[in-house]
Amino acid sequence: MLIDMPEVPEGEPFNIINALSAVRRLLTVDEVAELLGKSKFTIYRMAQKKQIPAMLIGGSWKFDPSTLIMWLTKKEPQLAIAARRQLKAA
């Protein structure tokens, strides 16, 4: 895995919102591709077409984790519901 992720207890499903919340820096194309289970080519294409929030810095695409969280929760509302449930349980 390219980025350090919080440990997921055995039997618990992976929660991408929790993983992104733990990241305190901009992500690369490789890291976003791994998190989303897509190819690097797909992430590049999505960034160029503005289908995923990204910024071009010095010729490299970078992704803000907090912006990706907002984008994912708008795109997949069930992710937001699952994240809220986990916050209440904690």
9-65 pLDDT, tens digit per residue, is 566 666 777 888 888 999 999 999 988 889 999 999 999 999 999 999 999 999 999
Tokens of 27: 């992500």
- Given a contact cutoff of 8 angstroms between Cβ atoms, the answer to whether 15 and 82 are in contact is yes
Domain borders along the chain are 17-89
In sequence order, the 6+-apart residues with CB closer than 8 A to the CB of 30 are 2, 40
CATH 1.20.58: does it fit domain 17-89?
no
| Whole-number pLDDT of residue 25 | 94
- Alpha carbon distance 55, 10 (integer Å): 35
User: Strands 55-57 and 60-62, how do they pair?
Assistant: antiparallel
- Structure confidence at residue 88 as a pLDDT band (50, 70, 90): low
